[in-house]
Amino acid sequence: MTFGDQTAELSKVHSALLAFGGKNDNLVTANAVRPIMGTCRQQR
């Protein structure tokens, strides 16, 4: 998957939850993703 000029190799992700969003994202804004990322970070 390509994000701007960077490519993410999603086949290497081994996680039950994948959350991301950006300033110019058309699907999910960064503000919408922050609470999910905060919760995941706390569970590590």
Please write the tens of the pLDDT for every residue from 35-44.
887 777 655 4
Q: Is 21 a residue whose pLDDT tops 70?
A: no
Q: Establish if 5 belongs to a structural domain.
A: no
Q: Establish if 42 belongs to a structural domain.
A: yes
Contact 5, 14 (CB under 8 A): no
Output the pLDDT for position 1: 81
Contact 23, 30 (CB under 8 A): yes
Domain count, the chain: 1
Output the pLDDT for position 18: 72
Q: Establish if 10 belongs to a structural domain.
A: no
Q: Establish if 14 belongs to a structural domain.
A: no
Q: Establish if 13 belongs to a structural domain.
A: no
Range 2-25 average pLDDT: 77
For 44, the domain range is: 19-44
3-state secondary structure (DSSP) of residue 3: strand
Which of the pair, 38 or 21, is modelled with greater confidence? 38
Q: Establish if 2 belongs to a structural domain.
A: no
Q: Establish if 40 belongs to a structural domain.
A: yes
Range 5-29 average pLDDT: 76
Q: Establish if 34 belongs to a structural domain.
A: yes
